[in-house]
Structure 1
Amino acid sequence: MTHSKKAYRFRQNCVAAAVSMLLAPSAFALQNLSDERLAETTGEGVALLPENFKIVFQGPNDISAASSYGTLTDKASLLEASKKDTGFIRIIPAGGNYEKLYEQNRQKIYNDKFNADYTYKLQDNYNQHYLPKYNQVYSSVKNNADYRAQIRALYAKDFDADYAKYSADNAAQISTQTTQLRPTAPWTSRYTELYNQRRADKQILGSWYSETEAESRAWAENAVAGEIKNYIISTAVNASIDQRTNNRLEESAALKAKNEADAYYETYRQQLYNGARDSAQSLVSSTNLAESLKASRTKADVFIYGLALSKSNGDLSQRYSNQGLNWGSAENPWLFRSGTAKDIQQFKKENKADIAYLALEAPLAREGGNSASDRIKLGFWTDIFSRSLDSSSQVDPVTGAPVSGLDKDYRLRAQFVANGLSIDGSQVRLFQTQPSSTAQHNQTLGMASVLRLNTHNDPSKLSMNDADLNARGIRLSTAARTDNDDGAAPTPAMDGSFAPIFNESDGLYLYSANINLVLGNIYQPFVLGSEGGNIILELTRIPNVPEIYTKIYSYYADTDGANPLVKTREGASAVQPQLKDSDGIYRVLEGSTCNVSACGSNTSEIKAGSATLKYQGSNATHSSIAIGSVTRDPLSNTLKANRAADSTGVVFRGPAAGSAPVNLGSAAIDGVLIQHFKIKTTGL
């Protein structure tokens, strides 16, 4: 077993009762068990250990003949045998709200016609009627000389006050400008004119008016300085008056032009609108909406064919290797068990209780990876159809396939193959949520899950030149090997034809893909519920409750280190931060990121013979997605995509033989925390 067998109280629980019937070795069939006896099994479970395990969905065979694969191992024979991979899982949506679809279709016909006749012509109508009228009125007002003079006269009444204010506010500037203008030609000439006039006046006045030549020059200098100052101030004040006049004139012109153009244009706009409305209503009335709705392709039909699990190999063109795999070990098996999480809080501070859960857990992920464990090859191919709304839902009772309604022109055919896949460390826990003020969250079915899909334990040195890239990657392709290999029928479920053979190289390749997703946890449950007649899938919001969010949030030294609220406890290491709440208590931020090398703090050790094996945890709260050449910093547990020229991860290959691949390099999305999301169906 991989978990402690310590007993916890778990009374009057139907799930625990079912588990106890399988686990109680000393009880006879249907023997009555006391609550005390029942509690002894709590925390244990059923261990599952698939050995030499392989599976592939092939078509029905009424004569119970052997699988087409038999004992085949060579590539060509396996490819030929894959033509029988026509066993399928069919996903058929229940349909929509037909009244709503009818109204949507009616509205679409109306909107398309209305937009064509009004919305898309509105700009032309605007340019044709509004703009010419606006420009004509604006120009007539702006260029009216009498109106300009009238406005200027209003502002000129305050000339003396403006003159005095400008003189006081700009004394230093006026002095500088006066000094600069004085040597220029107009003012030197004016100085000469004033001086000569002064000297001539002295001669006329005679000897009783005594003034030296120097005094005459000083008088002329002061006089010209005064005139320069007056010129500077008057020019500035007049410019201000002119500017205010222009502004007032433009405002008046714009307002008058808008008012007259609006009134003029509205008549033509209303005519355009009325015409478009009438033509759209007429089209809707003349259209057979029922027939139009039937022709719309609002139904989907999905076939998942040839779902196959087998032992991984180095070929991404094969969906199935025909080799069995050992999934787990005696010390580390699959586990279906019940358990109890202690002192859990959800939604609000007042909630605090033990939560019983039922869990399905894949084998634990080994620290450093386990090169000896079998890796998985997962493959399937699919046909996805868009069907008309009026297509028949009739099903062939023998094959389970539709009898009609599938069209190759509305089909997506694709193949998925994954090599080197490991889901070790994945787990799903189901439980009843705690009380909540939100009805859809209140004591309903909750889930906490860690989904780990890893294809490479250490991709840090991955190179485009590696020879074994196809042994650890995911491929999605669509092209058939030839037209004949694609089949004539829309899908094999309808006529029992062969499965297609896909092109050997075409497709999108994701080398060393490591996807570790945390979808809900015991403190932030993923809820499966209903609202009205619709289904809700919701990852509940992280509440503003320190006792809860400190269990989820992670500490990042590069950003949180400067936050005065985020501290480290005295004597604790730098990666054990604490958040001080309003009550003065420092709380440790316990969240962490799940990646291929680490997934939480609840690590474990298991004895395997004389060896002690160390396994990763499962209580991380953040997700990561890494594709290709990615390096991990063990101190901060962060990922970084490599940037070397030969780094690889996301690669496109064409169907033509020998075509050069397009290498887009590696990618890392690290530390993903989903605060809240909600998916809700509509129309059910």
Structure 2
Amino acid sequence: MCKHLDRTSKLMMGYLSVSLRLSALTVALLTATSATFALEKLDDATLADATGEGIAFLPENSVILFRGTDVGATESTTTILTDRTHDTGYINFIPVGPLTTQAAQSGAGKADVYLYGLAISKGDGDLNRRLNAVDPIIRSWGTADNPWLFKVETEHNVPNFAPTGTDSVTYLALETPLHHLYTLDYTDSSKNVINNIPSSGETGADAYNLKLAMWADAFVLDPRKSATDETRYHYNYTSTPDPNRANRLRLQVIWDGLSINGSDIRLFQTLGGATGIATSGNAKDTAYNHTLGLAGVLRFNSGDTRNLKASRTNSTVTRAVNNVATMRYTTTYLGRPGASSGGAHTNPANLYRLRTLDTRDDYSASSWTMPSLEDIGVLRLSTRETGATQGILDSPAINAVNAPNFDANEGLHLYGTNINLVLGSLYQPLILNKDTSSNNLVLELAAIPNKADIYKQIYTAYSGYLGDATASEYKGSTCNVYACGTPIEINGVKTYQGNNATHSSISIGTTEYDPNTGLMTAFKGTTTQDSIGVSFGALSSSSTAAYSRYYYQLQQQTRNRNGNNRWNYINSSGGNWAATNNCNETNGGCYQFNNTNVAWQNVDSFNVPSIVSEYNPTTNHGAVSVTGQTNPVVPAWNALPTWDATTGSGANFSGTTWTSNPAPTYQSTISASPSNNLGSVVIDGMLIQHMKITTKGL
């Protein structure tokens, strides 16, 4: 017998053991023992404060698995938990109906989709394992004080679709356990709530750490073939099957650390009042009247992500440039850029001076440290298989091959995914109907009419955009992981998040939340902290020790003798000018490159027939003798350091070829953030004014 009850009732089911065969599907709901208990009878005193009518139930010590039909319903718990070869029970999404002429002519097929191996267990943090291998048992999915509810309830004074008027709506509802609270600090401290998320499996902690996993295979189905035809996936443009056209899309989905607490679905008959005439305050579409309506909140949460922040120490770069390297002289032309070797440069008295412009970049140590994921869920979608290769048309759902294995780090990772979708309300129902002209299925979220009794229950008045309105007039709010309407009090104490919000929220990764405004935003990071959220490939901590990079630019200066006591120097534009007229030969003044306007020219590379002392920068160089000139000798110079960029001591050289390694443009700070971390995403305060979807064949 059903009695009035609410969430303070003690009506519960100790645990449930079920094996259900649906086509090629066996669903196993495991328990730790073999007994099954009936619902307990409650006395009137226990139910004195209850409202509504329904049944409360509480799954305990449970795991849900899809098993193949080749196994018996009497499998032991140990076998079910350890034998992974039969986790192949499936749901087949079969396309029906013909293709349109246009689709058929373009060679389109239909998608034949198998969803198999679905499992729900306790989370273990392993994003590549479908089932917790050590401790998969969900101890308690809720509590006796906060169970699942299947109930019938009536809400009064619900506005109908007419300009005025209200009525009562009786609905059938399925509610998951309510969502506990996270700490929220308000400006008005009387509104504060404190964290009361359960800490043990027996008190409901496992309900915030579920693991949902499944595989899916999709094939291109030839709509001309029967379901048993072996060539049904060899779809070709012609009537002749082509096995080379066969293909398969395979996907693994794992959400570890999931909670669906706070969700509910309500089914009811919609009210009337829509007249077909667009007048102020009423709904126009008469299809809204007295049809199947649906409302509810779907909550798929990974936890509080306000502290989901990676620690970051960026690398700073310091550049040092040394342009006073030891000089080298040579009488051999080295191919100075921008000038030919002709003209005055062919004079035997030509003299070239070499150097390297030495640059060293010092990079400080850097690090990037992942935050703890202990209380944070991660959703992973992956496609890259590893291990034994399976045939393109093999599938555990079709020919009982072994379940696939996937690369441990590949795929799209969504850290801290929180999805809270408000699917209409009693004021704005989600309607299931049919199109009167085509008989196609119509899914429509009713348009919000210009009726204050309705839109003031849905809309939110945001600070700064109130106009003539007051915030208290508008009852709408956003459902996110932190709040979902007015908190529910038990014995005067705020105990659970609400379930009467009207706006939806989707967030992935690190967030910031202001409880005073109800606004959630994506964390934008700081110089020492990173947000995480979306990544291609798994994120992991990394560090780099301090290091240096060396660069060397070959340069040369050029002069030639233009008579006694007179030298021509090459400037930056490649021209010559006279300088050092009447230089002092006695004290050697004519031997030096002493014109301040002489230009250093970059040399990308040069090649000489052999490395000889006259121009080998790595050896000691004797004086250069200029035959037939009044000033016959240029003083000797010491050797440059060995030019070897790999050891950080000079320019590159190979054989007789010398190559510059010029310093690139550099950034003063190098981010330690991994390149595959795309940060966090938030869509908050989402409200659908009106949506209508009509099914249609291809």
* 1:11-26 to 2 correspondences below 5 Å: none
Deviates more, 1:368-377 or 1:418-427: 368-377
Structure 1 distance, partners of 2:521, 2:42, is 51
Measure how far apart 1:598 and its partner are. 0.7
Match of 1:311 in 2: 122
Q: State the SS of the aligned residue for 1:559.
A: coil
Measure how far apart 1:439 and its partner are. 3.5
Q: Does 1:508 align with 2:412?
A: yes
Contact 2:127 2:256 in 1 (8 A): yes
CA gap 1:390/1:460 in 2 versus in 1, 3 angstroms: same
Q: Which amino acid in structure 2 is aligned with residue 622 of structure 1? A: H
Structure 2 distance, partners of 1:411, 1:639, is 40
Of 428, 431, 438 in structure 2, the residue corresponding to residue 527 of structure 1 is 431
Q: Does 1:414 align with 2:251?
A: yes
Of 384, 387, 392 in structure 1, the residue corresponding to residue 226 of structure 2 is 392
Q: State the SS of the aligned residue for 1:440.
A: helix
Q: Does 1:589 align with 2:474?
A: yes
Measure how far apart 1:351 and its partner are. 3.6
Measure how far apart 1:62 and its partner are. 4.6
- CA offsets 1:190-234 (integer angstroms, 9 cap, x no match): xxxxxxxxxxxxxxxxxxxxxxxxxxxxxxxxxxxxxxxxxxxxx
* 1:128-139 to 2 correspondences below 5 Å: none
- CA offsets 1:575-600 (integer angstroms, 9 cap, x no match): x44xxxxxxxxxx1110000111101
Q: Which amino acid in structure 2 is aligned with residue 664 of structure 1? A: L
Contact 2:509 2:531 in 1 (8 A): yes
* 1:41-60 to 2 correspondences below 5 Å: 43-60=52-69
Measure how far apart 1:614 and its partner are. 0.7
Unaligned runs of 5+ residues in structure 1 are 6-21, 28-39, 73-77, 106-291, 395-401, 568-575, 578-587
Contact 2:510 2:680 in 1 (8 A): yes
Q: Which amino acid in structure 2 is aligned with residue 57 of structure 1? A: F
* 1:552-563 to 2 correspondences below 5 Å: 552-560=458-466, 563=467
Structure 1 distance, partners of 2:56, 2:531, is 41
Contact 1:653 1:661 in 2 (8 A): no
Match of 1:673 in 2: 687
Q: Which amino acid in structure 2 is aligned with residue 521 of structure 1? A: S
Match of 2:395 in 1: 491
Q: Which amino acid in structure 1 is aligned with residue 251 of structure 2? A: A
CA gap 1:520/1:23 in 2 versus in 1, 3 angstroms: farther
Measure how far apart 1:506 and its partner are. 0.7
Measure how far apart 1:654 and its partner are. 7.7
* 1:279-294 to 2 correspondences below 5 Å: 293=105
Contact 1:349 1:547 in 2 (8 A): no
Q: Does 1:633 align with 2:447?
A: no
Measure how far apart 1:626 and its partner are. 1.0
Structure 1 distance, partners of 2:469, 2:148, is 40
Q: State the SS of the aligned residue for 1:392.
A: coil
Structure 1 distance, partners of 2:173, 2:515, is 30
Of 279, 298, 321 in structure 2, the residue corresponding to residue 451 of structure 1 is 298
Match of 2:469 in 1: 566
Q: Which amino acid in structure 2 is aligned with residue 44 of structure 1? A: E
CA gap 1:514/1:41 in 2 versus in 1, 3 angstroms: closer
Q: State the SS of the aligned residue for 2:688.
A: coil
CA gap 1:41/1:23 in 2 versus in 1, 3 angstroms: farther
CA gap 1:598/1:654 in 2 versus in 1, 3 angstroms: closer
Structure 1 distance, partners of 2:109, 2:491, is 53
Q: State the SS of the aligned residue for 1:493.
A: helix
Q: State the SS of the aligned residue for 2:475.
A: coil
Name the structure with the higher strand share. Answer: 2
CA gap 1:68/1:405 in 2 versus in 1, 3 angstroms: farther
Q: State the SS of the aligned residue for 1:313.
A: coil
Greater than 6 Å deviation, 4+ residue runs: 22-27, 658-661
C-alpha RMSD of the superposition: 3.2
Contact 2:8 2:145 in 1 (8 A): no
CA gap 1:467/1:635 in 2 versus in 1, 3 angstroms: closer
Structure 2 distance, partners of 1:311, 1:501, is 20
Match of 2:288 in 1: 441
CA gap 1:473/1:83 in 2 versus in 1, 3 angstroms: same
Structure 1 distance, partners of 2:259, 2:503, is 19
Q: Does 1:546 align with 2:452?
A: yes
Contact 2:6 2:51 in 1 (8 A): no
Q: Which amino acid in structure 1 is aligned with residue 226 of structure 2? A: S
Q: State the SS of the aligned residue for 1:413.
A: strand
Match of 1:347 in 2: 161
User: Normalized against structure 2, the TM-score is what?
Assistant: 0.56
CA gap 1:24/1:330 in 2 versus in 1, 3 angstroms: closer
* 1:354-369 to 2 correspondences below 5 Å: 354-368=168-182
Contact 1:357 1:431 in 2 (8 A): yes
User: Normalized against structure 1, the TM-score is what?
Assistant: 0.57
Q: State the SS of the aligned residue for 1:566.
A: coil
- CA offsets 1:584-622 (integer angstroms, 9 cap, x no match): xxxx11100001111012623269xxxx56111111000
Match of 2:353 in 1: none
Contact 2:247 2:393 in 1 (8 A): no
Of 337, 349, 360 in structure 1, the residue corresponding to residue 151 of structure 2 is 337
Q: State the SS of the aligned residue for 1:614.
A: strand
Q: Which amino acid in structure 2 is aligned with residue 647 of structure 1? A: S
Measure how far apart 1:468 and its partner are. 3.7
Match of 1:324 in 2: 137
Q: Does 1:462 align with 2:309?
A: yes
Q: Does 1:481 align with 2:386?
A: yes
Measure how far apart 1:530 and its partner are. 1.1
Of 79, 86, 97 in structure 2, the residue corresponding to residue 84 of structure 1 is 86
Q: Which amino acid in structure 2 is aligned with residue 531 of structure 1? A: D
Name the structure with the higher helix share. Answer: 1
Measure how far apart 1:306 and its partner are. 0.6
Match of 2:261 in 1: 424
Q: State the SS of the aligned residue for 2:531.
A: coil
Measure how far apart 1:3 and its partner are. 4.6
Q: State the SS of the aligned residue for 2:465.
A: helix
- CA offsets 1:64-117 (integer angstroms, 9 cap, x no match): 573796386xxxxx6xx4443211011112223x5xx22x25xxxxxxxxxxxx
Q: State the SS of the aligned residue for 1:70.
A: helix
Structure 1 distance, partners of 2:7, 2:399, is 50
Q: Which amino acid in structure 2 is aligned with residue 480 of structure 1? A: E
CA gap 1:386/1:631 in 2 versus in 1, 3 angstroms: same
CA gap 1:469/1:313 in 2 versus in 1, 3 angstroms: same
* 1:68-79 to 2 correspondences below 5 Å: 70=79
CA gap 1:661/1:410 in 2 versus in 1, 3 angstroms: farther
Q: Which amino acid in structure 2 is aligned with residue 591 of structure 1? A: G
Structure 1 distance, partners of 2:163, 2:150, is 31
Structure 2 distance, partners of 1:421, 1:26, is 36
Match of 2:696 in 1: 682
Structure 2 distance, partners of 1:311, 1:357, is 32
Measure how far apart 1:392 and its partner are. 1.8
Measure how far apart 1:472 and its partner are. 1.5
Contact 1:629 1:642 in 2 (8 A): yes
Structure 2 distance, partners of 1:481, 1:363, is 39
CA gap 1:434/1:459 in 2 versus in 1, 3 angstroms: same
Q: State the SS of the aligned residue for 1:550.
A: helix
Contact 2:309 2:531 in 1 (8 A): yes
Structure 1 distance, partners of 2:391, 2:77, is 19
CA gap 1:634/1:63 in 2 versus in 1, 3 angstroms: closer
Contact 1:653 1:660 in 2 (8 A): no
Unaligned runs of 5+ residues in structure 2 are 10-38, 183-194, 200-204, 235-244, 276-284, 311-367, 543-672
Q: State the SS of the aligned residue for 1:640.
A: strand
